[in-house]
């Protein structure tokens, strides 16, 4: 700054703070803690906003309502950071917010698990941002360009708080183009110089590879941890089918739990190969070492329908079948069909785990589709057990509760 305090030539004059007003319904939703404001619910804006800029929302009585990150490139135009009393969003505020997410997970994991989620997006107060740890590597996954101006800060905050050896940047399809224009790349290191695509980490003492550079999500489906544990304790002496098996997460837990055989079913040869690598990595485990492990490469929808094979435990965890609201009805129908064909593969006395990760299908709709398929099979079954995300994946609003699972035990004939 010059002595007179004037900005040097060429520096844009500081802009007034971006101020917004919302529709009454959006005001109410934000006041109740909903973290998204859609573009059509903005009523007033004092000027154009930049991507990632801090915006202040005032209510209809001109009182402070909330603060958020402005996102001109998304239908979710404002990503709320805070609602209630006015706050100053400075470096200390961000660091405290990260510390709170870390503190929320105290006691959730022991030393036998070092694959975990530290930050679960909006539900931890970090909109469109996920931080997963795989051993010494952190994966920072960004779902919106609002974080582009804060990448260096994020690396610093995460580095201070968690002391990772490496931080890998992962970008959602929507966010990638903006980051690429700024010179970033999906899968690049933000910290550390290791170049391995895959990292070995522990889940309950089992070792897994996670492809942190190219793998789906951040490389592994950490959200299913509790359901894998449950399968692990229900598999002794049994034949297990893992449909949509990906890298064999459920399969390894079943094998360690004493399953007689585990069959992976996936359309992707790459996924099946990853599961074989994970079995090899755990070969010293007595259960994994003796379980028979088979791989079937096929479209699971077709295979489940036409196969005559039967299993004691059938896991059916397809990818999201409704990426948008318009696909909801079709997805419910597909879950119903999948459940019917999966149930036909379950032996008397056996167990079905049916899971859905489609955010647009509600738990009620999914559970109704599965139980209706079970009734239609004409077989008797016990009270279903319904489960959701692992506890390091908190969900504070409806749209964040995407994962639902139903365990159904089919009773043997009397």
Structure tokens belonging to residue 290? 């003796």
269 binds ligand SAH (CB under 6 A): no
| C-alpha span between 340 and 151 (Å, rounded) | 47
| Cβ 406 to ligand SAH shortest distance, Å | 15
From the list 36, 126, 147, 250, which residue makes contact with ligand SAH (rule: CB under 6 A)? 250
| Consecutive H or E run containing 362 | none
410 binds ligand SAH (CB under 6 A): no
266 binds ligand SAH (CB under 6 A): yes
| Cβ 105 to ligand SAH shortest distance, Å | 20
Within a 10 A sphere around the Cβ of 311, how many other Cβ atoms? 24
| Consecutive H or E run containing 26 | helix 24-31
How far is residue 58 from each of residues 39, 53, 156, 411, measured CA to CA in Å? 16, 16, 32, 58
262 forms bridges with which residues in the sheet? 240, 293
215 binds ligand SAH (CB under 6 A): no
Cβ burial of 158 (10 Å; 0-12, 13-18, 19+) is buried
From the list 28, 181, 233, 268, which residue makes contact with ligand SAH (rule: CB under 6 A)? 268
299 binds ligand SAH (CB under 6 A): yes
Within a 10 A sphere around the Cβ of 309, how many other Cβ atoms? 11
Q: Which stretch binds ligand SAH (CB under 6 A): 2-10, 201-209, 230-238, 261-269?
A: 261-269
74 binds ligand SAH (CB under 6 A): no
Please identify, using beta-carbon distances, which residue of 79 and 228 lies nearer to ligand SAH. 228
From the list 115, 121, 125, 249, which residue makes contact with ligand SAH (rule: CB under 6 A)? 249
From the list 199, 300, 343, 361, which residue makes contact with ligand SAH (rule: CB under 6 A)? 300
381 binds ligand SAH (CB under 6 A): no
| Residues acting as catalytic residues | 357
- Residue written as token pair 């405290």: 96
CB burial of 252-265 (b: ≥16 within 10 Å; e: otherwise) equals bbbbbbbbbbbbbb
244 binds ligand SAH (CB under 6 A): yes
330 binds ligand SAH (CB under 6 A): no
267 binds ligand SAH (CB under 6 A): yes
246 binds ligand SAH (CB under 6 A): yes
| C-alpha span between 183 and 244 (Å, rounded) | 35
From the list 319, 330, 349, 382, which residue makes contact with ligand SAH (rule: CB under 6 A)? 319
DSSP 324: S
395 binds ligand SAH (CB under 6 A): no
Question: If phi over 0 gives left and psi between -120 and 50 gives alpha, with beta otherwise, what is residue 302?
Answer: alpha
191 forms bridges with which residues in the sheet? 167
Structure tokens belonging to residue 288? 């994994």
254 binds ligand SAH (CB under 6 A): no
281 binds ligand SAH (CB under 6 A): no
CB neighbours of 118 closer than 8 A, spacing ≥ 6? 101, 102, 105, 131, 132, 133, 138, 162, 392
64 binds ligand SAH (CB under 6 A): no
From the list 58, 301, 381, 397, which residue makes contact with ligand SAH (rule: CB under 6 A)? 301
From the list 123, 224, 234, 251, which residue makes contact with ligand SAH (rule: CB under 6 A)? 224
Please identify, using beta-carbon distances, which residue of 167 and 271 lies nearer to ligand SAH. 271
Give contact residues for ligand SAH (rule: CB under 6 A): 221, 224, 244, 246-247, 249-250, 266-268, 271, 299-301, 317-319
């Amino acid at each position: 700054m010059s002595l007179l305090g004037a900005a040097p030539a060429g520096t844009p004059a500081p802009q007034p703070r971006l101020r917004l007003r919302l529709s009454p319904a959006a005001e109410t939703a934000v006041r109740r803690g909903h973290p998204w404001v859609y573009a059509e619910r903005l009523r007033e804006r004092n000027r154009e906003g930049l991507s990632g800029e801090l915006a202040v929302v005032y209510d209809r009585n001109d009182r402070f309502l909330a603060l958020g990150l402005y996102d001109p490139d998304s239908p979710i135009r404002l990503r709320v950071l805070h609602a209630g009393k006015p706050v100053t969003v400075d470096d200390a505020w961000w660091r405290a917010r990260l510390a709170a997410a870390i503190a929320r997970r105290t006691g959730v994991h022991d030393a036998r698990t070092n694959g975990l989620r530290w930050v679960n997006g909006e539900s931890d107060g970090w909109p469109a941002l996920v931080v997963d740890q795989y051993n010494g590597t952190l994966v920072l996954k960004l779902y919106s360009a609002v974080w582009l101006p804060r990448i260096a800060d994020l690396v610093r905050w995460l580095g201070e708080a968690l002391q990772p050896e490496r931080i890998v940047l992962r970008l959602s399809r929507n966010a990638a183009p903006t980051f690429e224009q700024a010179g970033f790349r999906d899968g690049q290191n933000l910290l550390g110089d290791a170049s391995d695509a895959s990292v070995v980490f522990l889940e309950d003492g089992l070792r897994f590879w996670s492809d942190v550079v190219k793998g789906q999500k951040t490389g592994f489906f950490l959200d299913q941890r509790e359901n894998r544990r449950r399968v692990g304790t229900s598999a002794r002496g049994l034949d297990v089918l893992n449909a949509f098996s990906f890298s064999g997460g459920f399969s390894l837990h079943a094998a360690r739990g004493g399953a007689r055989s585990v069959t992976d079913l996936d359309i992707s040869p790459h996924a099946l190969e990853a599961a074989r690598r994970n079995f090899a990595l755990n070969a010293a485990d007595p259960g994994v070492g003796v379980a028979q492990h088979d791989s079937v490469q096929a479209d699971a929808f077709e295979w489940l329908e036409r196969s005559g094979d039967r299993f004691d435990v059938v896991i059916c965890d397809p990818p999201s079948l409704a990426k948008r609201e318009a696909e909801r009805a079709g997805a419910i129908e597909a879950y119903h069909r999948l459940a019917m064909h999966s149930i036909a593969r379950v032996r008397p006395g056996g167990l079905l785990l049916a899971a859905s990760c489609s955010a647009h299908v509600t738990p009620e709709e999914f559970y109704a589709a599965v139980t209706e398929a079970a009734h239609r099979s004409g077989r008797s079954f016990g009270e279903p057990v319904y489960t959701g995300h692992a506890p390091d994946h908190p969900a504070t609003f409806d749209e964040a509760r995407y994962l639902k699972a139903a365990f159904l035990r089919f009773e043997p004939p009397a």
